[in-house]
């Protein structure tokens, strides 16, 4: 054993690195940089982690819920179709936020779909109330379901439906169906645009896989070309993330050639594009959005021929609603018009133009819906009633997500609401309850 004294380091000074330790750092850098370069794009493509049912990114005031603002003179009166988004029930609210009707489903109902609707994480979305008061919807990733006013099953189809469902003027629904394809030697997710008949059988469909050459996801193609399936086997690559489907109606402005009745409007979120597809072939006729939109949702065609779209702003972290004139090739209206107004949701988001010219805006991730005037004044505001204490932030509360709210004119549903036996339905136990153990 050596009698040499151990090295002495001055207080507060860092010990010198040896030549061997420097070599270890060099090796780590050489090996680590390629790994980071490989993994970082994958991290960007993965959906952010979220609490069960909850998506709000900022703490909320748990005392504020339901309708917190209502200017009756300027808001457009009607009923609000509200997806709770954390259970398999749907609620119809009046302008004061009172529940006036509810649709629900249990697996015990004879003639219904197989038991799957009450599993954890189940949710209803893309809700449509028909003229007879029945409800047609997507049970995310599982099926399309049609319920009567009193929640009896009219029809169901076990389909990998997601994001959206639109009932055309002929009563036939359009939806999006998952379509897994082999691409770059690995499974990659695309979607079918599908038309169903009234019994919910598929009568027409086309995969967005066929659009990959005309509308390439260039960044994702580059990533896929550099990696192998083994690096992607813990998540599914979603090529376009198609999130919207609707049909152009008879009231469209036909001065725009693609705006022909029956043509299909859809949205490819991951390449910032809104497309119009031919009604007979589902081939693309028109596209817009690249360089303007960032992760958009819910494009709708207005009677004027203009396009209304929710632009999520996933790069700038600020959302907005745009009205775009395709003839003049310019944005003619925007909300919010000033930078000081807070509006942001990375996922979801919706905009509905109301008959009085106002716009109903769903800020999905924050569980908030507002009605704004053409000048941007908020005249109605609703906050999801379900809030939960943060599991890792016990002093903060977070609000449940609202996928989309839709306003229906009162005359369409007044008769059914007033004729409802037994009065309004009971609200669920979590309605307005701010406790972490409430579900």
Beta strands in 208-349 (DSSP E): 237-238, 242-247, 264-268, 273-277, 284-288, 297-301, 307-311, 320-325, 330-335
Question: What digits encode the pLDDT tens for the residues 288-301?
Answer: 999 999 999 999 99
Q: Please tell me the distance from the alpha carbon of residue 70 to that of residue 86, in angstroms, as a whole number.
A: 26
With a cut of 50, say whether residue 6 has pLDDT above it. Answer: no
Q: Please tell me the distance from the alpha carbon of residue 183 to that of residue 318, in angstroms, as a whole number.
A: 33
CB contact at 8 A, 370 and 75 = no
CB contact at 8 A, 373 and 358 = yes
**How many residues are there in the chain?**
439
Closest CA to 68 of 434, 409, 385, 336: 385
With a cut of 80, say whether residue 20 has pLDDT above it. Answer: no
Q: Please tell me the distance from the alpha carbon of residue 309 to that of residue 313, in angstroms, as a whole number.
A: 12
Strand partners, 353: 359
Q: How far is CA 88 from CA 105, 139, 293, 404, in A?
A: 7, 8, 32, 15
Q: Which CATH number fits domain 54-418: 3.40.470.10, 3.30.70.260, 3.30.70.1530, 2.130.10.10?
A: 2.130.10.10
Q: Please tell me the distance from the alpha carbon of residue 152 to that of residue 308, in angstroms, as a whole number.
A: 34
Q: Please tell me the distance from the alpha carbon of residue 303 to that of residue 397, in angstroms, as a whole number.
A: 41
Q: Please compute the mean of the pLDDT values over residues 141-164 and round it to a whole number.
A: 93
With a cut of 60, say whether residue 25 has pLDDT above it. Answer: no
State the pLDDT confidence band at 392, using cuts at 50, 70 and 90.
confident
State the pLDDT confidence band at 104, using cuts at 50, 70 and 90.
confident
Q: Please tell me the distance from the alpha carbon of residue 145 to that of residue 126, in angstroms, as a whole number.
A: 11
Q: How far is CA 70 from CA 66, 73, 74, 95, 207, in A?
A: 11, 9, 9, 8, 43
State the pLDDT confidence band at 230, using cuts at 50, 70 and 90.
low
Considering the entire predicted model, what is its pTM? 0.85
Percent of the chain past pLDDT 90, that is, above it, reads 59
Q: What is the DSSP string of 406-435?
A: EEEEHHHHHHHHHT-TTSSPPPPTTTT---
Beta strands in 296-363 (DSSP E): 297-301, 307-311, 320-325, 330-335, 350-353, 359-363
Beta strands in 84-185 (DSSP E): 89-93, 99-104, 124-129, 135-139, 143-147, 153-158, 161-167, 173-183
Q: Please compute the mean of the pLDDT values over residues 116-129 and round it to a whole number.
A: 72
Report the run of H or E that residue 69 belongs to, with start and end: strand 66-70
């Amino acid at each position: 054993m050596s009698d040499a004294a151990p090295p002495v380091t001055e207080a507060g000074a860092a010990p010198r690195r040896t030549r061997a330790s420097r070599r270890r750092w060099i090796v780590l850098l050489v090996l680590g940089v390629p790994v980071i370069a490989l993994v970082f794009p994958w991290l960007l493509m993965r959906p952010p982690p979220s609490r069960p049912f909850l998506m709000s990114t900022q703490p909320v005031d748990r005392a504020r819920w339901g309708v917190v603002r209502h200017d009756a003179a300027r808001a457009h009166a009607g009923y609000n179709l509200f997806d709770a988004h954390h259970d398999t029930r749907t609620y119809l609210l009046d302008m004061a936020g009172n529940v006036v009707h509810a649709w629900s489903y249990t697996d015990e109902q004879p003639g219904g779909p197989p038991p799957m609707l009450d599993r954890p994480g189940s949710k209803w979305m893309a809700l449509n109330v028909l003229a007879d008061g029945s409800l047609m919807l997507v049970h995310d990733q599982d099926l399309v379901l049609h319920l009567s006013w009193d929640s009896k099953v009219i029809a169901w189809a076990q389909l990998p439906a997601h994001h959206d469902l639109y009932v055309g003027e002929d009563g036939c629904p359009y939806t999006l169906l998952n379509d897994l394809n082999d691409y770059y030697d690995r499974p990659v997710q695309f979607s079918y645009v599908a038309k169903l008949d009234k019994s919910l059988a598929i009568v027409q469909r086309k995969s967005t896989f066929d659009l990959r050459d005309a509308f390439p996801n260039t960044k994702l193609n580059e990533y896929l070309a550099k990696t192998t399936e083994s690096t992607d086997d813990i998540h599914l690559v979603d090529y376009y993330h198609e999130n919207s489907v609707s049909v152009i109606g008879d009231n469209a402005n036909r001065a725009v050639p693609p705006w022909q009745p029956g043509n299909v409007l859809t949205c490819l979120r991951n390449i910032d594009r809104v497309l119009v597809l031919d009604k007979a072939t589902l081939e693309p006729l028109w596209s817009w959005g690249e360089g303007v939109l960032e992760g958009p949702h819910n494009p709708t065609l207005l009677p004027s021929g203009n396009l209304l779209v929710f632009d999520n702003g996933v790069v700038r972290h600020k959302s907005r609603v745009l009205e775009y004139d395709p003839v003049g090739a310019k944005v003619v209206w925007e909300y919010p018009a000033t930078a000081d107004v807070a509006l942001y949701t990375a996922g979801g988001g919706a905009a509905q133009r109301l008959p009085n010219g106002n716009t109903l805006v769903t800020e999905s991730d924050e569980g908030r819906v507002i009605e704004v005037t053409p000048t941007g004044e908020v005249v109605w505001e609703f906050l999801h009633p379900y809030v939960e204490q943060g599991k890792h932030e016990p002093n903060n509360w977070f609000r449940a997500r609202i996928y989309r709210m839709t306003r229906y004119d009162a005359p369409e549903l007044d008769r059914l609401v007033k004729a409802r036996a037994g009065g309004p339905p009971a609200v669920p136990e979590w309605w307005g309850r701010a406790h972490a153990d409430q579900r």
